[in-house]
Amino acid sequence: MTPLLKMEEYSQKVMDHFMNPRNVGVIEDADGIGEVGNPVCGDIMKMYLKIKDNVITEVKFQTFGCGAAVATSSMATELILGKTLEEALEISNKTVAEALNGLPPIKMHCSNLAEQAIKSAIDNYKKKNNLSNNVNDK
């Protein structure tokens, strides 16, 4: 069983993105959709992208999981909005965690899911449009 964390163990930024998540929702006509999950903790993230001229013009997410999972999803959407696909693919779990002023070590897996959701959504877009190899093959 995962130990309970106290609110003080989360940065103000994590708490803000958990309590007031940005870009929550679904894009019905999304150009790319990525869904990832962690079977150990049960968290599931789904990310939706609109892409025009190789730039992410809109991003939404749905996350079913803990507060850290919601916060990392929210931050990931802010980090990739307006970026080219190549720039978005450079976003790592560490980038997401650092942008949130850190995560407790036991919650770092949530930032892994955020990174994987970005890559999965971009991969889905590329496959739909016959645009090159799987981004996860790198």
* pLDDT-based confidence at residue 53 (cuts at 50, 70, 90): very high
* pLDDT-based confidence at residue 8 (cuts at 50, 70, 90): low
Is-contact 63 17, C-beta < 8 A?
A: no
Is-contact 123 131, C-beta < 8 A?
A: no
Distance between alpha carbon 137 and the CA centroid of its chain, in Å?
A: 19
Q: Tokens for 83, please give them.
A: 């970026």
State the pTM of this model: 0.88
Answer whether residue 2 shows pLDDT above 50.
no
Find, among 71, 69, 67, 89, the residue nearest to 80 by Cα.
89
Is-contact 32 121, C-beta < 8 A?
A: yes
> Which one-letter amino acid corresponds to residue 56?
I
**What three-state secondary structure class fits 80?**
helix
Is-contact 115 90, C-beta < 8 A?
A: no
> Which one-letter amino acid corresponds to residue 132?
S
> Which one-letter amino acid corresponds to residue 95?
T
Residue-wise pLDDT tens digits, 67-103: 999 999 999 999 999 999 999 999 999 999 999 999 9
Domains defined along the chain, listed by start: 11-128 (3.90.1010.10)
- Cite the active site residues: 41, 110
- Residue 3: per-residue pLDDT: 46
